[in-house]
Amino acid sequence: MRSQDYDRLYLSPPHLGRHELNYVHKAVEDNWVAPAGPNLAGFEADICAAVGVPYCVALSSGTAAIHLGLILLGVGPGDEVLCPSFTFVATANPVVYLGATPVFIDSEPDTWNLCPERLREAIVDRLAKGKKPKALILVHLYGMPAKLPEVLAVAQEFDIPILEDAAEALGSEWQQQPLGGFGRVGVFSFNGNKILTTSGGGALVTYDRVLAEKARFLATQAKDDAPYYQHSQLGYNYRLSNILAGIGRGQMELLPERVKRRREIFAWYCEHLAALPGIAVAPAPEPAGSRSNRWLTTILINPADPNTDGALARALTPETLRLHLETRNIESRPLWKPLHLQPLFADAPRYGGDVCADLFARGLCLPSGTAMGEGELRRVKEALTEALG
**Chain residues in the site for ligand PLP (CB under 6 A):** 61-63, 87-88, 90-91, 139, 165, 167-168, 189, 191, 202
Q: What share of the chain is helix, strand, coil (3-state, %, to 5)?
A: 40, 15, 45
The answer to whether residues 377 and 134 touch, using CB atoms and an 8 Å cutoff, is no
Output 108 or 273, the one with its CB closest to ligand PLP: 108
Looking at beta carbons only, is 262 or 379 nearer to ligand PLP? 262
Min dist CB 193 to ligand PLP, Å, is 7
Instruction: Between 24 and 195, name the residue whose CB sits nearer to ligand PLP.
Output: 195
Query: Could you tell me the smallest distance in angstroms from the CB atom of residue 17 to ligand PLP?
Result: 20
Distance CA 5, CA 28 (A): 30
Separation between Cα atoms, residue 278 and residue 315, nearest integer Å: 11
Q: Is 319 helix (H, G, I), strand (E, B) or coil?
A: helix
Q: With respect to ligand PLP, which residue has the nearer C-beta, 246 or 278?
A: 246
Beta carbon of residue 64, minimum distance to ligand PLP (angstroms, whole number): 7
In the complex, least distance from residue 48 CB atom to ligand PLP, rounded to whole angstroms: 19
Does the active-site annotation cover 194? yes
Q: Compute how many other C-beta atoms are within 10 angstroms of the C-beta atom of residue 113.
A: 25
Cβ atoms within 10 A of the Cβ of 1, count?
10
Cα 206 to chain center, whole Å?
Answer: 17
As beta bridge partners, residue 61 has none
Backbone angles phi, psi at 82, to 5 degrees: -75, 140
Of the candidates 155, 80, 78, the residue with the CA atom closest to the CA atom of residue 114: 155
With CA atoms as reference, report the closest residue to 387 among 337, 327, 347, 303.
327
The whole-angstrom separation of Cα 201 and Cα 159 is 31
**Residue 215's closest CA among 90, 73, 336, 310?**
73
Annotated catalytic residue, options 194, 214, 260, 337: 194
Q: Which residue number is nearest to ligand PLP in terms of Cβ?
A: 62
Nearer to ligand PLP, 50 or 204 (CB): 204
DSSP string, 114-156: B-HHHHHHHHHHHHHTT----EEEEE-GGGPPP-HHHHHHHHH
Of 189 and 242, nearer to ligand PLP (C-beta) is: 189
Distance in Å, CB of 165 to ligand PLP, minimum: 5
Task: Please report how close the Cβ of residue 183 comes to ligand PLP at its closest, in angstroms.
Answer: 14
Active site residues: 194
